[in-house]
Structures are given as structure tokens and as C-alpha cells.
Structure 1
Amino acid sequence: MKTKTDNRRRAGAEIKRTLRELNNQVALLNNQVGARVDLRPLDLDCLDVIAIHGPLSPSDLARRAGLHPATITGILDRLEKNGWIARERDDNDRRAIRVRALPARAGELFHLYGGMNDSMDEIFADYDEAQLATLADFLTRAVAAGRVATSDLAESAP
């Protein structure tokens, strides 16, 4: 006989499996997008972090991405050379550098992600506001859990 606990465990396992599959599909989409605009997958990831959370310092980017600062330097060099980001002096500390995404090339990415964005809008139309709020809460909390897991692994790296 199935219990509530069994059903809950199965539902949780299915959600985790589906999130892994979503992660794979988004990674494949990102690879296609990156290839079209000549960005390495990790460069595209870092550009997205900058676009969402920037402007931010290179060390903040390294921490958010779970990468070594030397790795970030190479990524930022490539992004700046190709017109994706700008390095600027911090207004509060002229010795510090902040990086920000440049809007001039954002349209290229917006166009390439257009099909996925349109599909997401169609999916959202099937849910009411309360359901969308629940989904948004779940995803926000899942992102926070991923951020903690990434940070923990980065801190324990040999």
C-alpha cells in the first residue's frame, strides 16, 4: 500500500529528475546560443551572472560562479575584447574594478533565446497567479540551494 510519504518521496524524486533534464536542455540551448555568438559556455554563464547581478567586482563574480579568480580574469578579458562587458572603476573606491554587461550586444542574445522565451510565455498562460507565485517561490529557493551547494564545493576544493 502506498503511503503519503511514499507518494511525496516519489514526487520529490520526479521533480529532481525533471530539474536535471531541464538543466541539460538549458545547457544544450546555451551551447547553441554560445556557438552563434562565439562565446564559450562558461563565458556565457558568467555574462549572465553579470547581467543579472551586476555591476559587480571580479571577486564577487568568481564567488558567485564558484571559479578561481585567475579563471575569471581570462573570461573577463574575452568578454571585454568582444564587446560584451566593460570594466569600470568603482565610484566608492577608485582602486576597485566593477564589471557590467553592455546593452549593445544584448539584443543578439535576446533574439537567440526568443523561441524559449515564447514557449515559456505559452506555458505560463496555463497557470493562474497563485500557481505562478508558487512556482516562482520554488525556483527561487532551488536557485538558493544551488548557490549554497556551489559555494560549499568551491570552498572545499583542493
Structure 2
Amino acid sequence: MTSVTSRRRIRTGLRELGLQLALLNRKVSTRVALKDVDLDCLDIVATHGPLGPSALAKRAGLHPATMTGILDRLEKGGWIARERDPQDRRAVQIKALNDRNRELYGHFAGMNASVEQICVTYDDEQLKVIAGFLEKVAEAGQTATQELAGD
């Protein structure tokens, strides 16, 4: 197989992966009564939080005014808490609540188990290469998003 064919397969595979993960997220968000964008924001908070609302809006690529409705829904559903920033009592930090997030992780258990089964078919060196590749692709996606947003 030529390197051109391999690169084409990688691009096609990444597009298909993106589509399948978007469909999975949509199904999960429906099961937990969230909108897709709510689930995205919750994932950002769980991964990078606690965050202020403006920082969250920037990471999510959303207008700060849109964030109010999202945060209201997430807080009402028991997914997040708004807390005073210990460094600046006037500022608010958004924190994911672990109790409710365990429920969410249960919906992803099948996918996580499948990924684990796939990973055990590779040795440590191969996994390091794959992990590095995925990190670089994620960074490229973040850069492309920021460029489109005009950041």
C-alpha cells in the first residue's frame, strides 16, 4: 500500500470516527436529557475544569451569552455546580459534579470496553505512536477551529 493510499485511509477513518462519535454523543445526550452542546460543554468542564464561564465559552467556541442557558440546564440537571473562585470571590467557576457524571460514563462503557479490546492488540511502542498521532490530530483540529473562529 502506498503512503498516499495510507494517508487517504487515515483521513477517511478520522472522518468516520468523528461521525460515529458524534452519533454516539447524540444518543447519550438524549438518554440523559441534554442537548449535544450541553454534553460537549460538560465534557470540557470535566476534562479541563473548573473553568470560568468565559473560558468555557472560548474552549467550546460559543458566544458567552449562549453559555448562560447551557449552564442553567446543566446546573438544573445536577451535572455542574457554580462556585465562587477562591482566588477572586467576584468570579464564578464551573465544576463538574462526579455523582451525576458516573451515570454518564455508564453510557459510554460499551465504547470504552471496545477501545480497550482494540488497544490490547497493540504493543506499548505502537500505542505510543497511535497516542502521539491522536494528540497531534486533536491539536490540528483545535487550531483549525480557532482559525475559523477568528481567534
Q: Same fold, TM exceeding 0.5? A: yes
TM class, shorter-chain normalised?
A: over 0.9
Q: Unpaired segments of 5 or more residues in structure 2?
A: none
Identity of aligned residues (%): 54
**1:138 aligned residue (125, 129, 133):** 133
Which amino acid counterpart does residue 63 of structure 2 have in structure 1? Answer: H
SS of aligned partner of 1:55? coil
Whole-Å separation in 2 of the counterparts to 1:77 and 1:126? 43
* 8 Å contact kept, 1:79–1:85: yes
CA deviation vs aligned residue, 1:99-139 (integer Å, no higher than 9, x gap): 01000111111111010011001000000001111111111
1:63 to 50, 58, 62: 58
Structure-to-structure mapping, 1:1-158, within 5 angstroms: 7-155=2-150
Structure whose alpha-carbon radius of gyration is higher: 1
Normalising by structure 1, we get a TM-score of 0.92
1:139 aligned partner, one-letter code:
L
Given that 1:51 and 1:100 are in contact with CA atoms closer than 8 Å, whether structure 2 keeps it comes out as: yes
Partner SS state of residue 83, structure 2:
strand
Q: TM-score with structure 2 length normalisation?
A: 0.96
Unaligned runs of 5+ in 1: none
